[in-house]
Chains A and B, each alone.
Chain A
Amino acid sequence: MKSLSSTYAILLKDAQSELRTRYAVNALFMFVVTAAVIVQLAIRSEQPSSSVLSGLFWVVVFFAAMSGLSRTFVSEEERGTSMTLQLVATSSSVYFGKLLFNIVLTLLLNLAITLLFTVVFPGFVVQTFETFLLTVVLSSIGLASASTILAAIIAKANTKGTLYPVLAFPILLPLLMTAMKATARALEGDPFGAGIEEYQILISYIMVITAGSYLLFDYVWKD
């Protein structure tokens, strides 16, 4: 119970801090707008297929997440508040508090990218809404989970900027491949049940990454 309220307090603290400083939000949304505009200029009047649009969607999500999600831990290190948090909260509360914050941020990010893609690319029309919604929600949780532990690792490193996407790519590859496939299904109008294999992979990915991160986090966070 105490751990839950501590986790919730960390989530609230991060949300309040983000609203004041806009550390992550500015980086995320500037990247999203820039990337979408560049892609639009590149393809001009071409009509890309569902697979290509789905791929472009997740490329933008991946790089936007890389530019924003690491901030949760990097900002604590830069401000010198990591030790303050260590003094007042258990490792598990910090991990789950930061994870929840990153999940909220990733869901908002995906919502913004979806709206932008719908406006910018006429071919980006979601035919099976349930498939798209479930894919985005599951992928956001998986992306946030992997990004949170990676952010904790790179916050302790000297070469933060370059290390993050390099470490993240192999870990996020299975998630991104599955998410692209499921998103293409949603754009093509496949029935909801057709994507069952993808949902199972995404759920398994979330469970494995979250459990592994939880076990590893104490060692990353402390020394």
Chain B
Amino acid sequence: MKLTASHLTKEFNRRAIFSDISFTLEIGDSLAITGKNGAGKSTLVKTLAGLLSPTRGAVEYLLNGKKTEVDALRDHIGMVSPYVMLYDEFTAMENLTLLSRIRSNNLPIEEQSKELLERFSLWNKRQELVRTFSSGMKQRLKFVFAVLHRPRLLFVDEPTSNLDAEGVRVVRGMIEKQKKTGMLIVATNSAQEAKWCKKRIHLG
């Protein structure tokens, strides 16, 4: 899998959020997107993931050497972001099951979800409604949801927000694993987190 961003520009009401961003990522690569609040980190992440269209430029994905539309890459993309919320009225396990069913990738998620929920210390809370979770627990569950289908490309926007020291340690382990087996894009304010990645783009 290969991601190529060419001269990406995004404007809202003719105001440029970011402009002329170009880079290439392949399996084993990791990219940190840094910048102060409002610099456009989250917007760039959404644009790369196909959730927003760029005003100019293009995002191109190659899967097994073939140019592939981002819509066809759902099974290969995972995302943790403040903009990606889970359903409060469902339990943690129901969220994972329902969203996997909607994704329809036919992966057996039971074993994988058990392992991930245990790693994030959520196994005992799996039958509780997400609305009763603290913000840190919700962030942990978002990580479980994002990596449940073993994505080749993982987007992480503000990875450690609301997490305690134990949560940060688990996330760090997951990110190291992702760097070895796939591609990673991290949007962050933290210089420490930016060091997790090989490449860096600074916005603003």
Contacts and interface: CB of A to CB of B under 8 A. Distances in A.
B89 A20 contact: yes
B107 interface: no
Nearest to A84: B84
A89 B101 CA distance: 10
Contacts of B46: 83
Interface residues of B, number: 25
B39 interface: no
Q: How large is the interface on A (under 10, 10 to 19, 20 to 34, 35 or more residues)?
A: 20 to 34
B51 interface: yes
A90 B89 CA distance: 23
A6 B53 contact: no
Contact of A6 (B51, B52, B103): B103
A162 interface: no
Contacts of B83: 80, 83
Interface string B22-55: 0000000000000000000000001001011100
B98 A13 contact: yes
Contact of A79 (B79, B87, B98, B104): B87
Contacts of B103: 6, 88-89
B111 interface: no
B74 interface: yes
A222 B74 contact: no
Contacts of B90: 16-17, 20
Contacts of B5: none
B89 A84 contact: no
B176 interface: no
Given A2-B104, A6-B104, A87-B84, 4 more contacts: A16-B98, A83-B84, A86-B51, A222-B53
19 contacts: A2-B104, A3-B104, A6-B101, A6-B102, A9-B101, A9-B102, A9-B104, A16-B94, A17-B90, A20-B90, A80-B84, A83-B51, A84-B84, A84-B99, A85-B102, A87-B74, A89-B103, A223-B52, A223-B53
5 closest Cβ contacts across the A-B interface? A80-B85, A9-B101, A9-B102, A88-B103, A20-B89
